[in-house]
Amino acid sequence: MTAVQFETQRLLLRELISADADVIVDFSNDPEFDRYRLRSQRSEAVTRRSVHQAILASTLIPRMYYALAIVPKPSTTAAENSLIGVLTLSLDWNPVLLANIGFEIHPAHWGRGYATEAAFAALQMSFDELGVASVMADCFAANRASIRVMEKIGMQRSRSWIDSIALRVAYGEMRPVVRHQVRRDEWQQRLYRKDPE
């Protein structure tokens, strides 16, 4: 297995390790954070199992799932080397290679642009290293912060009602779920801009 690790301006993105589960469980308990999680994800046991599964998935070939710890570099104000969030990237052949990304940040660090910086890095990794045709991200329609992150990194919302119904069914939720997406050609057109908006 080749461990994935890379840096952005303020962040280090590295593979999850078992010890990260405690921090993730801790911030997942915040009610503000919990509001936007799927019902199926709302338990400590599920959180711990997902960390374990992510570590297992990192050993599989071909690798189809990445869960990376988001860690501020020591020069920033957050506590040195502690994880403040998780970035996920899931690959699927359907019929071309597609990526679905997700991001979560400890509520104590919201509003500092960390999710935007990490999500932009996920687009770079998807298009420049993994060669995907399109990257998507899903969240509840009420999750304004998440939608804003997707907009800032150049994703556009799918207005298809079929998508809208399919997403609710796929996630098993009554609340509306929205999908944002950016294709490789759209990404290439905006490459002159090196950073998120």
Ligand X SMILES: CC(C)(COP(=O)(O)OP(=O)(O)OC[C@H]1O[C@@H](n2cnc3c(N)ncnc32)[C@H](O)[C@@H]1OP(=O)(O)O)[C@@H](O)C(=O)NCCC(=O)NCCS
Locus of tokens 């994703």: 155
Q: At its nearest, how many Å lie between ligand X and the CB of residue 179?
A: 11
61-69, 71-79, 141-149, 174-182 -> range binding ligand X (CB under 6 A):
141-149
- Beta-carbon contacts of residue 110 (< 8 Å; ≥ 6 apart): 145
- Of the candidates 94, 186, 192, 110, which has an alpha carbon nearest to the alpha carbon of residue 148? 110
- The DSSP string of 33-52 is HHTTS-GGG-SHHHHHHHHH
Binding mask 68-107 for ligand X (x = CB under 6 A): ----------------------------------xxxx--
Binding mask 6-45 for ligand X (x = CB under 6 A): ---------------------------x--x---------
What are the Cα distances from residue 4, in Å, to 65, 99, 136? 12, 16, 21
| Residue from the set 145, 165, 166, 191 that interacts with ligand X by CB under 6 A | 145
Please say which residue, 58 or 116, places its beta carbon nearer to ligand X: 116
Binding mask 102-131 for ligand X (x = CB under 6 A): xxxx----xxxxxxx---------------
Asked if 175 interacts with ligand X (CB under 6 A), we say no
Please say which residue, 57 or 141, places its beta carbon nearer to ligand X: 141
In 3-state terms, what secondary structure has residue 3?
coil
Q: At its nearest, how many Å lie between ligand X and the CB of residue 143?
A: 5
Asked if 139 interacts with ligand X (CB under 6 A), we say yes
- Beta-carbon contacts of residue 141 (< 8 Å; ≥ 6 apart): 147, 175, 176, 177, 178
Which tokens is 156 given?
């556009």
Separation between Cα atoms, residue 14 and residue 182, nearest integer Å: 24
Please say which residue, 82 or 188, places its beta carbon nearer to ligand X: 82
Binding residues (CB under 6 A) for ligand X: these are 33, 36, 102-105, 110-116, 137, 139, 143-146, 148-149
